[in-house]
Amino acid sequence: MDVVLGVSNRHVHLCERDFKILFGEEAKLEVVKELVQPGEFASNCFVTIKTEKSEIQKVRVLGPLRSYTQVEVSLTDAFKLGVKPPVRDSGDLAGSEGVTLIGPNGSIELSEGCIIATRHIHITPEQMAQFGFEGMKSVNVELPGEKGGVLYNVQFKVSPNYAFEMHIDTDDANAHMVKTGDIARIIK
Amino acid sequence: MDVVLGVSNRHVHLCERDFKILFGEEAKLEVVKELVQPGEFASNCFVTIKTEKSEIQKVRVLGPLRSYTQVEVSLTDAFKLGVKPPVRDSGDLAGSEGVTLIGPNGSIELSEGCIIATRHIHITPEQMAQFGFEGMKSVNVELPGEKGGVLYNVQFKVSPNYAFEMHIDTDDANAHMVKTGDIARIIK
């Protein structure tokens, strides 16, 4: 079973309140590029992630706004920032790392919200049944190429609205020298 | 079959001529820390890797001096530098990437020498026989942990002088959240 890869660079999701603090009351989150997942988009807005140790500039805000603010980084980013974010699913932020976000209009100190995203596959309930994955929470996925290999613990994220696509971070992608649009193989 | 991991951060090997250009005629490559492989050491000398696009400072020179100059980076480093180094074994540098090295005494423009090192296992001929690897050029290796997985194409480097140890770069290590001293499992 083949699946298309999407590589997620470090990015930020914002709640409405935090968006207004960072970008101003009148700011609008505009669509620069639609992503594969329906409704999701790369926006025109960027923030700086700042910690005691260092900072990473020009981190893109993905839209639309959410009910929570979340900062997704790779372990390589985490070493640079001097933080230890846990590996978590989106929205599972309790006890995760704190960082400061700086926008053109203001900044916010997050006591938690910074994570390394779990490797995951977006899939519909119909596809879970059709492909024989019902009852499974995760799979292993084989990556092609001269630095290929297998990624363990790839979680299913199931929703009727999802496009079938696998998301990995830049560390997974660079280790195995794969990129967005490459094809991986799900191992049952 | 378990093997201990050694994670190689970006580093440089130098020939004597290039060392003298970068650090001066009178400079000595001093041992700061012995590495696991007998005779190899982290030195007190650092260079900057420079390209048209950007640079990476404080890149350590490993000793002793060799018959060739070689720059080993990760793909993450390569993206930052804007170069496309091939995946190669040590010393197999024909047609590899060019970069500029800058030391305290001078600089050298390498027309080739920058590579992404092949994943490899240092092993003696006796161990190759003892562990049942005779005639094999490479194996797959399983990494533990919540971002665990399997690395393909891990090459055997065989010499009577080697200590049994597996070397991966920081991309492989960070993707799978493993570090120097962790234990991996060779899959035959």
Assembly ipTM? 0.95
Total beta-carbon pairs less than 8 A apart between chain A and chain B: 67
* Contact (Cβ atoms closer than 8 angstroms) between residue B22 and residue B101: yes
Count how many domains chain A has: 2
Strand bridging mode B70-72 / B114-117: parallel
Residue A141 lies in a domain: yes
Structural domain of B135: 120-187
Contacts of B141 (CB under 8 A, 6+ apart): B3, B119, B121, B150, B151, B154, B166, B184, B185, B186, B187
**Closest CA–CA distance from residue B42 to any residue of chain A (Å):** 21
* Contact (Cβ atoms closer than 8 angstroms) between residue A167 and residue A114: no
The three-point CA angle B100-A54-B11 to 5° equals 30
Same domain, A107 and A143: no
Same domain, A105 and A125: no
pLDDT at position A188? 76
Same domain, A51 and A127: no
pLDDT tens for each residue of A85-110: 999 999 999 999 999 999 999 999 99
Say which of A75, A140, A147 has its CB closest to residue B153.
A147
Same domain, A44 and A101: yes
pLDDT at position A25? 97
Residue contact B149–A148, C-beta within 8 A: no
Residue A33 lies in a domain: yes
Residues of B with CB under 8 A from a CB of A: 74-76, 79, 87, 116, 119, 140, 146-153, 169-172, 174-177
Strand bridging mode A11-13 / A31-34: unpaired
- All residues of chain B having their beta carbon less than 8 Å from the beta carbon of residue A174 are 74-76, 79, 171, 175
Residue contact A149–B146, C-beta within 8 A: no
Query: Residue A33, SS3?
Result: strand
pLDDT tens for each residue of B41-95: 999 999 999 999 999 999 999 999 999 999 999 999 999 999 999 999 999 999 9
Residue contact A75–B177, C-beta within 8 A: yes
CA distance A150 to A175: 11
Residue B1 lies in a domain: no
pLDDT tens for each residue of B100-146: 999 999 999 999 999 999 999 999 999 999 999 999 999 999 999 99
Could you tell me which residue, A188 or A22, shows the higher pLDDT?
A: A22
Say which of B74, B76, B152 has its CB closest to residue A149.
B152
Same domain, B38 and B104: yes
pLDDT tens for each residue of B18-33: 999 999 999 999 999 9
